[in-house]
Amino acid sequence: MLEAANGLEIGRDLTRANTLALPSVAERFWRARSEQDVMHGLRLANEHDWPLTVLGGGSNLLLPPHIAGLTLCPDLDGLSFRAAAGDRVDVEVGAGVVWHTLVEACVERELWGLENLALIPGLAGAAPIQNIGAYGVELGDVLEWVELIDRRDGRRRRLGRDECGLGYRDSVFKRELANRVVITRLGLGLSWRPRPRLDYGALDQRVPPSPSARDVFEAVCAIRREKLPDPVALPNAGSFFKNPVVSRQRADMLAAMHPDMPRYPQPNGDVKLAAAWLIEQCGLKSCRDGAFGVHDRQALVLVHFGGGTLDELLAFADRVAGAVRARFDIALEREPRQAGEPASG
């Protein structure tokens, strides 16, 4: 049902708007195609005292069966490239641009910096929230600024990279600014100069000597398609758990008991462990409980076979995390955010 007077949709079905295909209905839905649309949606929510949920591509957000208030979708397009000093190219991208479309556009122009982040689902506006990363590269490696609109007063702001508080799958948008802003645009700094990052996983074995950005891009796409299910065919939210980071002493103790345990030293001396390996060691790879299961090729991915609810998914995820905690005394942290959750800091 559509209120023609202001374009506000009532009772919008969001089941197809989240990659886990969790059944969900928005009480009210507002698609913003410009910054003015965003501000109008914010005014509507503020004037009527409606709870506000911001929904992008739905690839990293867990939706409840009913979302009260207003669900705002910032569908802002736009993609531009500008040569800067030296080999640098400045890229500006709207929050509503599909992330993989952005990566492919950069690779087509032989720009370096995003090729390792190919095929990550979702929209560009969500990328800083999670500080998305893959194959040894994070968004923070190329992010220059984030433009946003404050939910409370409609004020437009631009945050530099350092102000975004980026960390491993973390940012200020998940802490101090959680549920307080709407991201509208990103600025990235890429390069004409080849700078392949091939030191993660088996990526270096999948590309020719002196690879192009296209070579790395295609290798990443091939690896991801081999390991990860297509959300259209088998609903999922990608990696459901973060890779845990532990102290070096803790990692050494675990490695003494499990010599084949993958581990990745971090610049600060801590060690990142592979959550997928931990889950596999608990015998949970390809296990299924009702509508949900662990993917048979990538244990970090929880999949939805259909007919399940958010509560059932969270119960299944708790079972997986509980098994890892019981065997390794390591707590797995959920990666997707849940709509309506309070800020974590």
Just list the catalytic residues. Answer: 169, 239, 335
| Residue 6, pLDDT score | 58
Give pLDDT tens digits for 151-193: 988 999 999 999 999 998 899 999 999 989 999 999 999 999 9
CATH of residue 166: 3.30.465.10
3-state helix, strand, coil in the chain (%, to 5): 30, 30, 40
DSSP 91: E
Q: What is the side-by-side strand order in the sheet with 245-246?
A: 245-246, 271-273, 263-265
DSSP annotation of 262: -
Could you read off the pLDDT of 209-259 as tens digits, one per residue?
Answer: 999 999 999 999 999 999 889 999 999 998 999 999 999 999 999 999 999
Has residue 343 been placed in a domain?
A: no
Q: Is residue 14 part of a domain?
A: yes
Domain that holds residue 234: 230-338
Say yes or no: 37 and 155 in one domain. Answer: no
Pick the closest to residue 194 from 174, 182, 209, 176 (CA basis): 209
Let me know whether 149 and 266 are in one domain: no
Last residue of one domain, picked from the residues 194, 226, 258:
226
Average pLDDT, integer, range 134-162: 95
pLDDT tens, residue by residue, 8-60: 999 999 999 999 999 999 999 999 999 999 999 999 999 999 999 999 988 88
Q: What is the mean pLDDT of the chain?
A: 93
**Helices 99-108, 213-227: inter-axial angle, 10-degree rounding:** 150
- Amino acid 340: pLDDT: 67
Lookup: tokens for 169: 């799958």
Number of folded domains in the chain?
3
> pTM of this prediction?
0.88
Q: What pLDDT, on a 0 to 100 scale, did the predictor assign at position 344?
A: 46
Asked if the structure places residue 344 within a domain, the reply is no
